[in-house]
Amino acid sequence: MAYLFTSESVSEGHPDKIADQISDTLLDNFLAFDENSKVACETLVTTGQVVLAGEVKSNTYIDVQNIAREVINDIGYTKGAYKFSGDSCGVISLIHEQSQDINQGVDRGEKEEQGAGDQGMMFGYATNETENYMPLALDISHKILIELAKLRREGKEITYLRPDSKSQVTIEYSDENVPQRIEAIVISTQHDEFDEDDNAMLSKIKKDMVEILIPRVIKLFPQYVQELFNDEITYHINPTGKFVIGGPHGDSGLTGRKIIVDTYGGKGAHGGGAFSGKDPSKVDRSAAYAARHIAKNLVAAGVADEVLVQVSYAIGVVKPTSISVDTYGSKNVELSNGEIAKKVAEIFDMRPASIESRLKLRNPIYRETAAYGHMGKEPRTITKIFESPYSGRIVREVELFTWEKLDYVDQVKEAFGLN
């Protein structure tokens, strides 16, 4: 019997995502001036206020207040009407030094013997239902909000948009787990006050979302996905009827509260650890990226159509305590899941220092991960500029989303006899 599956996304202007972006931008600045920085930075945003907290061990000093304000302005919170603006909000820093009890278990004389920054289990997932090996409902949800943000910044076709928004997509699957059609799309977007009454305002927003936004989104996908969009989709546009009060004024935001949006939209599994604000010695982040890298390369190599990789660690211990693989019955090789996991452990070195090196995680690459998902984006190289009143100006060329590279496909094929 066919079934429905739903995933959601939130925009860069959502309060929790503002917090994530501030935390990751602070992390980038620490890493730009001291690549060995140990950072665990949390952010809280609310009406007119930003609170920064956490632990840092670094040889550099950065202007955290000014960086937070720049992020807020970049997102689009620049008007007094929003009750939250980078130019006028208060920024309180409660950041202090990292615990030596933790640090002694992580830093070692030999870099390769670096221990895990915490205990826990991390998951990576991949499926061949999309070109970027991500679950389709989440991929569509992200792209709806990416295009909505572009429309807001362009300010031409739709002029009333404010930064805060959310989306949700429900897809019908066949018994063979193949997407059949889109059942429902939910879009809630913050907007300016309208001169018309609420009904006229809502009618205008619904019309613009369906007739302007959705056609732009459809063009982003290959033909087989475009065919899932039809005239029978149920649209829920601003279902409360009005969304003027939003952002941190409407709801406080915290770092790490959107972990399912950040990963796989409810597909696969999640170990519970958030990513943003954490340097790569924290395996919550680095091992989750490494597990995605493994899962994506396994699916791309044809080992299985769908893969979930779990890895676990003990704090201060170099080697993972376990590596496991679930192929959901979709494997294309005559091996058990346990045998596949054993080969994975032979191909991919999952020691924390090796993950950092393989995926180039000691670079300032994290601001770009902090909205619209950490997984499924295109790897690319960009130039970033960092300026500090204390350490000067640095220009860095960095490689983003290295865990999305299909650079182990040939190695995987050879190990599994798929050449």
Is 111 part of any known ligand binding site?
no
Lateral strand order in the sheet of 322-326: 120-127, 306-313, 322-326
Is 243 part of any known ligand binding site?
yes
Going from the C-alpha of 246 to that of each of 68, 71, 123, 137, 291, the distances in angstroms are 19, 18, 32, 25, 35
Nearest by Cα to 345 from 321, 327, 362, 328: 321
Is 7 part of any known ligand binding site?
no
Strands 253-254 and 3-10: unpaired
In this structure, what is the dihedral angle of CA atoms 290, 296, 301, 303, given to the nearest 10 degrees? Answer: 90
Tokens standing for 141? 């949800």
User: CA 289 to CA 355: how far, in whole Å?
Assistant: 9
Q: How far is CA 342 from the centre of its chain?
A: 29
Strands 120-127 and 306-313: antiparallel
Is 11 part of any known ligand binding site?
no
Is 143 part of any known ligand binding site?
no
The HSE-up count of residue 107 (CA atoms within 13 Å, CB side) is 11
Is 258 part of any known ligand binding site?
yes
Is 242 part of any known ligand binding site?
yes
How many helical (H) and strand (E) elements, i.e. helices and strands, does the chain have? 13, 13
Is 85 part of any known ligand binding site?
no
Is 310 part of any known ligand binding site?
no
Is 339 part of any known ligand binding site?
no
Is 191 part of any known ligand binding site?
no
Is 405 part of any known ligand binding site?
no
Please check whether residue 107 is in contact with residue 274, taking contact to mean a CB–CB distance below 8 angstroms.
Answer: no
Going from the C-alpha of 277 to that of each of 22, 230, 325, 372, 381, the distances in angstroms are 8, 40, 28, 16, 21
User: CA 184 to CA 193: how far, in whole Å?
Assistant: 27
Is 396 part of any known ligand binding site?
no
Please check whether residue 272 is in contact with residue 37, taking contact to mean a CB–CB distance below 8 angstroms.
Answer: no
User: CA 282 to CA 40: how far, in whole Å?
Assistant: 9
Is 129 part of any known ligand binding site?
no
Cite the annotated binding site for K(+) by residue number.
42
Cite the annotated binding site for L-methionine by residue number.
55, 98, 251, 282
Cite the annotated binding site for ATP by residue number.
14, 164-166, 242-243, 251, 257-258, 274, 278
Cite the annotated binding site by residue number.
14, 16, 42, 55, 98, 164-166, 242-243, 251, 257-258, 274, 278, 282
Cite the annotated binding site for Mg(2+) by residue number.
16
